[in-house]
């Protein structure tokens, strides 16, 4: 693959090694073929592990889908990096820290796909991996001026900023992994952006490895586009995010913003915007930041009438445009930064209004007041649920807990009996069972009432754990899971019938 200089060369010299445009195409294309073949094999084996079950509240698939897509991507990346090393395009002394830590972060996510670890355990794993990479010399030490003059040495701030960068990007990628093809497509565009940065800065290793990762994601997307046959899982999402974060540090000449970091931040504009909306929304509403919901940008587009395909194209288009905007900052030595910043600000305002996060900027104060009122009501429901948790432990028998539960839902203005002025809500219990409750028909949405009533779930599960059943008054409102479908009936048709 190594050729003498010709007019066809993309000037990516590293220790005398140069790659042709054909070489770049081979890195991308061969990685895509290998990844696609591996994904096909995983689907053919039908292992039945790490399955993602349907969830009508925030997931769009109708049957269980494996969350094993990160495995083929990781293996393809390993093989591609090994191939680049064999042609002297990659030096192990420079890439060993990234290789070790990428393996660690993928392992954390992959284990979580097999058996949930919990948010705190995963965060500890992410921080530990980031600390290892920092200790091995990959860090953000200097912030250069986007306009090419002057720089700031970070000193002791290098550690926290490096950790923040290495932990935030994987979680941002994982957060947007809520629709078929979304995180994988974003990752592919960003890796192609990283490959261009490698080309621009004359780093053949960055270009070769980034093209390999982009190709692996391209092969995976063949099976991940709507309707998806396989998902990334946390292992794949963490691997994509950590790869982008660590390689951008590696290619930025010890943290020079103009080298790579600012380009990546701009290219990640849509996921960063979605994450910002999510944190603000949940903080104002009093909802735990790590609690999943169905109000991300892609969910909003679906609710606005977009098909999955159109929503995906819209998100891809924004990612591509922002990637080009980030590259323009690199090419103009920062001169395009003010224009790009203004575009991002206007995009955030327009997105908040169009997607319904803000009903009206003129009436923003009233909307905030209503949101805070909902937060206080939700905190009240949370307090009632917490009291019922203690009643599970304190009550001498299930009848005592029943009296406490009925008193609590009465204070919540919730009933076990239907009525003309009441709406029905289902609480999802273990083993697929659902409890039917009735709340007032008011201006609050069914989603808001479901969030409030979800605070009752811990006490109900505690009751099941202690007495192996619910109180008699609740047993009459319990919906048991549907029996298995007869042989020959598809899972999707069974779901549709339910």
278-291, pLDDT tens digit by residue? 777 777 766 666 66
In the block, tokens 């820290």 appear at: 97
Nearest CA to 174 among 127, 124, 106, 228? 106
pTM to 2 decimal places? 0.74
pLDDT reported for residue 147: 57
Q: How far apart are CA 261 and CA 252, in angstroms?
A: 7
Between residues 275 and 107, the one the model is more confident about: 107
* Domain range annotation of the chain: 9-256, 373-479
In the block, tokens 């805070």 appear at: 372
Q: DSSP letters of 224-256?
A: HSSSPSS--HHHHHHHHHHHHHHHHHHTTTTT-
pLDDT reported for residue 9: 38
Region 326-353: mean pLDDT is 79
C-alpha to C-alpha distances, 232 to 109, 209, 217, 249, 441, nearest whole angstrom: 10, 20, 10, 24, 39
Q: How far apart are CA 334 and CA 166, in angstroms?
A: 24
Q: Is the pLDDT at 8 greater than 50, yes or no?
A: no
pLDDT reported for residue 77: 95
Region 88-96: mean pLDDT is 85
C-alpha to C-alpha distances, 276 to 100, 169, 176, 270, 342, nearest whole angstrom: 30, 13, 12, 10, 17
pLDDT reported for residue 80: 92
State the pLDDT confidence band at 146, using cuts at 50, 70 and 90.
Answer: low
pLDDT reported for residue 311: 85
Whether residue 293 contacts residue 195, with contact meaning beta carbons closer than 8 Å, is answered with no
Query: Which pair of structure tokens corresponds to residue 409?
Result: 């839902």
| Arithmetic mean of pLDDT over the chain | 81
Report cis status (omega within 30 of 0) of the bond before 227.
Answer: yes
For the stretch 61-79, pLDDT in tens is 557 788 889 999 999 999 9
Q: How far apart are CA 283 and CA 449, in angstroms?
A: 18
Angle formed by the axes of helices 158-175 and 182-200, to 10°? 140
Whether residue 65 contacts residue 228, with contact meaning beta carbons closer than 8 Å, is answered with yes
Q: How far apart are CA 491 and CA 48, in angstroms?
A: 14
pLDDT reported for residue 179: 82
Q: Is the pLDDT at 178 greater than 70, yes or no?
A: yes
State the pLDDT confidence band at 352, using cuts at 50, 70 and 90.
Answer: confident
**Residue 330 CB neighbour total at 10 angstroms:** 21
Query: Which pair of structure tokens corresponds to residue 156?
Result: 């002791």
Nearest CA to 465 among 365, 392, 378? 392
Q: Is the pLDDT at 214 greater than 70, yes or no?
A: yes
Q: How far apart are CA 47 and CA 375, in angstroms?
A: 43
Q: What percent of the chain has pLDDT over 70?
A: 82
Host H or E run for residue 423: strand 422-428
State the pLDDT confidence band at 18, using cuts at 50, 70 and 90.
Answer: low
State the pLDDT confidence band at 255, using cuts at 50, 70 and 90.
Answer: very low
Q: Is the pLDDT at 117 greater than 60, yes or no?
A: yes
Q: How far apart are CA 330 and CA 197, in angstroms?
A: 8
For the stretch 377-433, pLDDT in tens is 888 898 999 999 999 999 999 999 999 999 999 998 898 888 888 888 888 888 778
Between residues 475 and 167, the one the model is more confident about: 167
For the stretch 429-449, pLDDT in tens is 887 788 889 998 887 878 788
Query: Which pair of structure tokens corresponds to residue 75?
Result: 């293996």
Whether residue 485 contacts residue 494, with contact meaning beta carbons closer than 8 Å, is answered with yes
pLDDT reported for residue 495: 32
Q: Is the pLDDT at 14 greater than 50, yes or no?
A: no
Region 155-161: mean pLDDT is 86
Long-range contacts, 331-335 (Cβ 8 Å, 24+): 331/200, 333/146, 333/147, 333/148, 333/258, 334/145, 334/146, 334/147, 334/148, 334/258, 335/147
pLDDT reported for residue 318: 86
Between residues 455 and 337, the one the model is more confident about: 455
pLDDT reported for residue 296: 76
pLDDT reported for residue 290: 63
Nearest CA to 74 among 119, 107, 118, 51? 107
Q: Is the pLDDT at 219 greater than 70, yes or no?
A: yes
Region 307-315: mean pLDDT is 86
pLDDT reported for residue 164: 92
C-alpha to C-alpha distances, 352 to 270, 280, 346, 361, 473, nearest whole angstrom: 12, 12, 10, 10, 44
Nearest CA to 50 among 1, 114, 110, 111? 114
C-alpha to C-alpha distances, 259 to 142, 147, 198, 335, nearest whole angstrom: 11, 11, 9, 14
State the pLDDT confidence band at 213, using cuts at 50, 70 and 90.
Answer: very high
Whether residue 479 contacts residue 427, with contact meaning beta carbons closer than 8 Å, is answered with no
State the pLDDT confidence band at 105, using cuts at 50, 70 and 90.
Answer: very high
pLDDT reported for residue 326: 83
State the pLDDT confidence band at 82, using cuts at 50, 70 and 90.
Answer: very high
């Amino acid at each position: 693959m190594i050729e003498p200089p010709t007019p066809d060369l993309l000037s990516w010299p590293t220790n005398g090694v140069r790659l042709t445009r054909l070489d770049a195409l081979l890195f991308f294309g061969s990685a895509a073929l290998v990844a696609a073949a591996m994904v096909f094999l995983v689907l053919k084996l039908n292992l039945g592990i790490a399955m993602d079950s349907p969830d009508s509240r925030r997931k769009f698939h109708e049957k269980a889908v494996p969350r094993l897509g990160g495995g083929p991507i990781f293996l393809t990346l390993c093989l591609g990096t090994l191939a680049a090393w064999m042609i002297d395009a990659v030096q192990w002394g420079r890439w060993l820290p990234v290789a070790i830590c990428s393996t660690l972060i993928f392992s954390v996510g992959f284990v979580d796909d097999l058996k949930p670890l919990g948010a705190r355990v995963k965060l500890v794993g992410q921080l530990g991996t980031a600390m290892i990479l920092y200790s091995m010399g990959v860090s953000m030490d200097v912030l250069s001026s986007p306009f090419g003059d002057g720089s700031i040495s970070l000193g002791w701030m290098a550690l926290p900023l490096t950790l923040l960068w290495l932990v935030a990007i994987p979680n941002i990628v994982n957060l947007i992994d809520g629709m078929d093809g979304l995180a994988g497509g974003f990752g592919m565009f960003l890796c192609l952006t990283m490959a261009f940065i490698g080309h621009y800065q004359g780093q053949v290793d960055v270009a070769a490895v980034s093209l390999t990762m982009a190709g692996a994601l391209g092969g995976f997307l063949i099976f991940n586009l709507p309707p998806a046959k396989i998902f990334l899982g946390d292992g794949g999402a963490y691997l994509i995010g950590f790869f982008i974060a660590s390689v951008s540090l590696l290619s930025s000449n010890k943290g020079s913003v103009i080298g790579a970091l600012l380009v990546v931040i701009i290219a990640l504009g849509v996921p960063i915007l979605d994450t910002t909306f999510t944190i603000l929304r949940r903080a104002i509403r009093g909802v735990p930041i790590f609690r999943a919901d169905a109000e991300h940008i892609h969910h909003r587009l679906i609710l606005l009438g977009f098909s999955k395909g159109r929503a995906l194209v819209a998100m891809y288009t924004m990612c591509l445009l922002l990637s080009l905007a980030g590259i323009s900052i690199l090419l103009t030595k920062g001169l395009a930064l003010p224009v790009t910043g203004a575009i991002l600000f206007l995009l955030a305002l327009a997105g908040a209004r169009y997607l319904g996060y803000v009903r009206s900027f003129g009436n923003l104060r009233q909307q905030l007041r209503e949101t805070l009122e909902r937060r206080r009501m939700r905190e009240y429901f949370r307090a009632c649920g917490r009291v019922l948790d203690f009643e599970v432990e304190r009550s001498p028998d299930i009848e005592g807990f029943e009296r406490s539960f009925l008193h609590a839902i009465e204070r919540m203005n919730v009933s076990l009996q239907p009525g003309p002025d009441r709406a029905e809500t289902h609480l999802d219990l273990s083993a697929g069972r659902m409890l039917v409750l009735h709340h007032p028909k008011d201006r609050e949405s069914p989603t808001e009432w479901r969030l409030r009533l979800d605070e009752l779930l811990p006490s109900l599960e505690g009751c099941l754990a202690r007495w192996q059943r619910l109180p008699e008054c609740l047993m009459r409102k319990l919906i048991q899971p549907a029996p298995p479908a007869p042989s020959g009936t598809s899972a999707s048709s069974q779901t549709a019938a339910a």
